[in-house]
Amino acid sequence: MRVLVTGHNGYIGTILVPILKQAGHEVLGLDSNLFTACTFGAEVFSIPAIKKDIRDVEASDLEGFDAVIHLAGLSNDPLSDLNPDLTYEINHRASLRLAKLAKQVGVSRFIFSSSCSNYGAAGDDFLDESSPLNPVTPYGISKMLVEKDVSLLASDRFSPVFLRNATVYGVSPRLRFDLVLNNLVAWAFTTGKVYLKSDGTPWRPIIHVEDVSFAFLAALEAQQDRVHNQAFNIGRTEENYRIRDLAEIVVQIVPNSILEYAPGAGPDKRCYRVDTSKVSRELPEFNPQWDARRGAKELYAVYQKVGLSLDDFEGPRYKRIAHIKMLLEQGSLDPSLRWKSAYSV
């Protein structure tokens, strides 16, 4: 298939693209390249690409594609809290517009990178795809709104699919340190402390970036009647952890590290525990291989190899929110987070 991947130069995209290519698909990218300067370790796999903000996509950009895999957007809660209006403009309205344009030009499959954060404040019970959505941040709300609005576009010739990804972890050329396991291992390696900013009681489902990429491949290649206009929790049911349990795993992996709670650490209202039996049943080709312990070992080994420092992962080099603020302060971006022409990359 001929596939367009939006956000192909991001955390998931840089892992997904080689997997799609290896599976025999023709892959092109579309990215505004906000994080070009954030490459971590291995170089990014190069493919033909359109350098464009997702808000500025035109119908002609989408012509001739069999599928769109839509990853692009403001990628986490701190970044979306920077300007909630921009979050809704980019993550919701631009995504809906993209889907409408894709349908208009004959793209048959639209795979949206949604999130289990849609479930938000949900407590200790297991949640399946029919469970109520209760997002508590602009990021989570924007994902929920895209699912709701794009589902209304479904037809015999336009098949949207919504992958509600667990919290992703693992090494990528565009590594993110704002993700829980990546962050905990980084704190342990650079400071000797596994640092928790909450009381550690909330539940999180987690999934390795390679496994989530194979979920996109499975959704792309599945027969339409197996995925048409459906949401799937992406992960493994046994890979739900309380944050404090992830912290204990990291203490066991990173030598001489200890667990420490931030002053005044309290409960995080984001708490959700998901059942992934639907994706296991409907997409048996998706067979995740990673668990938290193996992932923590991978992260620790790579942090050792590159000599990760505290300034690297907490500063603007790799931290998404800090990097965006730096680009704004430098005048490289305008307030709408578009590149100014003199700084366009």
Which tops the pLDDT comparison, 196 or 241? Answer: 241
Average pLDDT of the chain, as a whole number = 92
pLDDT in tens, 232-289: 999 999 999 999 999 999 999 999 999 988 887 766 777 899 999 999 999 999 999 9
Could you give the C-alpha distances from 82 to 68, 77, 96, in angstroms and in order?
28, 9, 22
The length of the chain is 345
Q: What is the CATH number of the domain that holds 258?
A: 3.40.50.720
Burial of 307 (0-12, 13-18, 19+ CB in 10 A): exposed
d(CA 183, CA 296): 10
d(CA 98, CA 101): 5
Buried b (16+ CB within 10 A) or exposed e, 219-244: bbbbeeeebbbbbbbbbbbebbbbbb
d(CA 250, CA 248): 5
| 101 close to 159: Cβ distance less than 8 angstroms | no
* Token output for 180: 């829980």
d(CA 240, CA 46): 34
Q: Per DSSP, which regions of 158-297 are E strands? A: 159-165, 167-169, 193-196, 203-208, 230-234, 240-242, 258-261, 271-274
Residue 343 reports pLDDT greater than 60: no
Model pLDDT, residue 344: 56
Q: Per DSSP, which regions of 38-102 are E strands? A: 49-51, 67-70
- Angle 238-239-241 from CA coordinates, rounded to 5°: 110
Cβ count near 255 (within 10 Å): 10
Number of domains comprising the chain: 1
| Domain that includes residue 293, residue range | 2-343
| DSSP, residue by residue, 282-337 | H-TT------HHHHHHHHHHHHHHHT--HHHHHSTTT-HHHHHHHHHHHTSB-TTS
Confidence of residue 154 (pLDDT cuts 50, 70, 90): very high
Cβ count near 275 (within 10 Å): 18
Residue 109 reports pLDDT greater than 80: yes
pLDDT in tens, 67-90: 999 999 987 656 656 678 889 999
